């Protein structure tokens, strides 16, 4: 790696996952991690192993699966935390222990109730112990931008002496400004005698909307690793957005002559995968990955773009993997054509997955004239659900209107050998979704409260596939349900049923393990 190479450290699965509504289960994290590998990130921060059993298992699974990137696990500078992180990471091809400790007086006094010298000793001991387990150790001085710079330099020098290979200078609360941050990085470069033995990393939160600008300023000052998340998800206002940093470096090579290992045409797919897993979609005007990022609305702009795209486009949609929608397949396409198309979109399907996807595809062709790539991706995501279906939807019918209650008739097939077995029931409520939920609860015996309900058209036209996303509280647990369908009533019923099946599956697992 040359002196101008910038390492991209992705923390979508750790800092990003900490943001409200963005939690993911193990399979979802693994799928996202594989996409990050394909995107070409240098480091995947997979989680915080000591935080929960689920986090531990996810870090372990990711560590065992990824081949190319470094896999990092976060831990406080405590022996038990470090041990847990190492236990999860030790099978990785390239493991990294990422240990952190706050260094600002406000954190030391009010959160850790520690003196500066106690924190110094703890940081030294933590890094020393982590290095005895793993040759790649990152140390983060939490709240570095509100830390006394002189003390920060002392801590950095000490942990490099103990063997830290990367030093992270987080702007934990999104407080700094580009010039101030740049100055801090320069101070570290000029003052810490052994600084050349480590890579300086930056990690910016977006509370003042400056996370990307601050990260770029730090790169210009000498930082060679940037910590960021896909779609900029993260605590509070989020973290620096990976796609914005990468494309700023790519598009403004004249001012920012740095390289990354990111394969930018994978950006759009990474963004969409994350949004579909979490149900949190970037706002339409979000740079690079928003729905409108490449849309030209005004007549003057459209005219200019038609003559020469460069009049109003500083990068092509293709450079970030955004494709102009086109018809891909029709009613008469067979399994081979479908498999080929999925493969072009980057999904290699095993036989049973292809079979499932093909069934959904033919159903879709019956109701939709044109099938777009987005429709296919949506049915694929729907078809690859990994939750066993204790109940399957056979029929959902709703009568609803502006006056009075809505009524639903639902038929479900319970999991059994008998293909013909079916149970039907009715329900009512103050809207179509409430009526469906009431009917499904009557049949399955699982009653949940819908906390969030979203429908999103994935392609164009009134017959577009709609993705339905639901958050449901069942027995004190918040579960997400999702489904894709051209019919929102069917989609809503299936999304709710997905959450019910998840709840039943969890109950079953508990019965086995408890
Ligand atoms: O924002 C922060 O300081 C962090 C550290 C744990 C790296 O996320
Ligand atoms: Zn953070």
Residue whose CA is closest, atom 7 of ligand 1? 140
Residue whose CA is closest, atom 1 of ligand 1? 172
pLDDT tens-digit series, residues 184-198? 999 999 999 999 999
Inter-helix orientation angle 26-39/53-65, to 10°: 40
Q: Which atom of ligand 1 is nearest to the CA of 168?
A: 7
- Least confident residue range of 222-226, 376-380, 394-398, 446-450: 376-380
What ranges make up the beta strands (E) of 345-459? 371-372, 391-399, 406-414, 423-429, 449-457
Note the pTM of the prediction, 2 decimals. Answer: 0.80
Q: Which of 203, 228, 232 to mutate to test the pocket of ligand 1 (most atoms within 8 A of CB)?
A: 203
Give the distance, in angstroms, between the CA of residue 334 and the centroid of all CA atoms in the same chain. Answer: 33
- Which secondary structure element, helix H or strand E, spans residue 202, and what is its range? strand 199-204
Q: Which atom of ligand 1 is nearest to the CA of 239?
A: 1
CA distance 244 to 306: 26
pLDDT tens-digit series, residues 185-236? 999 999 999 999 999 999 999 999 999 999 999 999 999 999 999 999 999 9
pLDDT tens-digit series, residues 36-90? 999 999 999 999 999 999 999 999 999 999 999 999 999 999 999 999 999 999 9
What proportion of the chain, given as a percentage, has pLDDT over 70?
Answer: 94
Does ligand 1 lie within 6 Å of residue 103's CB atom?
no
Q: What angle do CA 273, 279, 281 make, to 5 degrees?
A: 75
β-bridge pairing 137-142 and 166-171: parallel
- Classified as helix, coil or strand, 249 is helix
- Classified as helix, coil or strand, 482 is strand
391-513 has CATH 3.40.50.740 classification: no
CB count, 10 Å around CB of 4? 12
| Per-residue pLDDT at 304 exceeds 50 | yes
Q: What is the DSSP letter of 111?
A: I
Query: Which of 227-231, 333-337, 420-424, 499-503 reaches the highest mean pLDDT?
Result: 227-231
pLDDT at 402: 86
Average pLDDT of 452-480? 82
Q: Which of 170, 214, 238 to mutate to test the pocket of ligand 1 (most atoms within 8 A of CB)?
A: 170
Does ligand 1 lie within 6 Å of residue 171's CB atom?
no
- Classified as helix, coil or strand, 93 is coil
Ligand nearest to the CA of 48: 1
End-to-end Cα separation, the chain, in angstroms: 50
On whether the CB atoms of residues 227 and 100 are closer than 8 A, the answer is: no
Q: Which atom of ligand 1 is nearest to the CA of 142?
A: 3
Ligand nearest to the CA of 225: 1
Q: Which of 15, 138, 175 to mutate to test the pocket of ligand 1 (most atoms within 8 A of CB)?
A: 15
Average pLDDT of 238-245? 98
Does ligand 1 lie within 6 Å of residue 100's CB atom?
yes
Q: How far is the CA of 387 from the centre of ligand 2 (A)?
A: 32
pLDDT tens-digit series, residues 368-384? 767 777 777 777 766 66
Does ligand 1 lie within 6 Å of residue 372's CB atom?
no
Q: How far is the CA of 299 from the centre of ligand 2 (A)?
A: 42
Q: How far is the CA of 143 from the centre of ligand 2 (A)?
A: 9
Give the distance, in angstroms, between the CA of residue 55 and the centroid of all CA atoms in the same chain. Answer: 15
Q: What DSSP letter does each residue of 331-354 carry, written as one string?
A: TT--HHHHHHHHHHTT----HHHH
Pull the structure tokens for residue 468.
């339905």
Q: How confident is the model at residue 513 (pLDDT cuts 50, 70, 90)?
A: very low
Does ligand 1 lie within 6 Å of residue 15's CB atom?
yes
Q: How far is the CA of 437 from the centre of ligand 2 (A)?
A: 38
Q: What angle do CA 250, 216, 97 make, to 5 degrees?
A: 100
Topology of domain 7-278, per CATH? TIM Barrel (3.20.20)
CA distance 66 to 96: 13
Closest CA relative to residue 92, chosen from 44, 140, 27, 28: 44
On whether the CB atoms of residues 350 and 386 are closer than 8 A, the answer is: no
């Amino acid at each position: 790696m040359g002196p101008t190479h910038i390492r991209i450290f992705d923390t979508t699965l750790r800092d990003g996952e900490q943001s409200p509504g963005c939690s993911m289960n193990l399979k979802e994290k693994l799928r996202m991690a594989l996409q990050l590998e394909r995107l070409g990130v240098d480091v995947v921060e997979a989680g915080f192993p000591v935080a929960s059993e689920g986090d531990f298992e996810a870090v372990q699974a990711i560590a065992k699966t990824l081949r190319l990137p470094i896999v990092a696990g976060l831990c406080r500078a405590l022996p038990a935390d470090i041990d847990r992180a190492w236990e999860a990471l030790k099978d990785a091809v390239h493991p990294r222990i990422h240990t952190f400790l706050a260094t600002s007086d406000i954190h030391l006094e009010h959160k850790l109730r520690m003196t500066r010298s106690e924190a110094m000793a703890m940081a030294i001991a933590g890094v020393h112990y982590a290095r005895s387990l793993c040759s790649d150790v990152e140390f983060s001085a939490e709240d570095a931008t509100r830390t006394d710079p002189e003390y920060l330099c002392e801590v950095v020098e000490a942990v490099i002496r103990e063997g830290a290979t990367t030093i992270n200078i987080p702007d934990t609360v999104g407080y700094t400004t580009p010039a101030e941050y740049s100055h801090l990085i320069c101070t570290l470069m000029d003052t810490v005698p052994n600084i050349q033995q480590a890579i300086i990393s930056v990690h910016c939160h977006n509370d003042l909307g400056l996370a990307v600008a601050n990260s770029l300023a730090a790169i210009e000052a000498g930082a060679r690793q940037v910590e960021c998340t896909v779609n900029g998800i993260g605590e509070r206002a989020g973290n620096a957005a990976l796609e914005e940093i990468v494309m700023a470096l790519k598009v403004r090579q004249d001012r920012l002559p740095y390289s990354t290992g990111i394969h930018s045409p994978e950006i759009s797919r990474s963004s969409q995968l994350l949004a579909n897993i979490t149900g949190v979609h970037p706002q339409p005007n979000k740079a690079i990955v928003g729905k409108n990022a490449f849309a030209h609305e005004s007549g003057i702009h459209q005219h200019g773009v038609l003559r020469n795209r460069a009049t109003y486009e500083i990068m092509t949609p293709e450079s970030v993997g955004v494709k102009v929608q086109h018809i891909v397949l029709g009613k008469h396409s067979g399994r081979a054509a479908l498999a080929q198309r999925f493969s072009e979109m980057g999904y290699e399907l095993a036989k049973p997955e292809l079979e499932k996807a093909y069934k959904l595809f033919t159903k879709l062709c019956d109701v939709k004239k044109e099938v777009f790539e987005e429709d296919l991706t949506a049915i694929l995501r729907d078809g690859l659900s990994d939750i066993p279906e204790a109940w399957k939807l056979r029929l959902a019918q709703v009568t609803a209107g502006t006056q009075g209650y809505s009524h639903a008739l639902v038929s479900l097939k319970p999991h059994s050998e008998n293909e013909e077995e079916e149970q039907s029931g009715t329900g009512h409520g103050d809207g179509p979704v409430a009526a469906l939920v009431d009917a499904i609860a009557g049949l399955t015996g699982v009653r949940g409260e819908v906390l969030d309900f979203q429908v999103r058209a994935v392609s164009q036209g009134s017959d577009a596939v709609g993705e339905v996303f639901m958050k449901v509280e069942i027995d004190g647990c918040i579960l997400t349900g999702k489904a894709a369908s051209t019919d929102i009533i069917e989609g809503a019923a299936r999304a709710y049923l997905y959450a019910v099946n998840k709840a039943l599956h969890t109950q079953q697992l508990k019965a086995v393990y408890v």
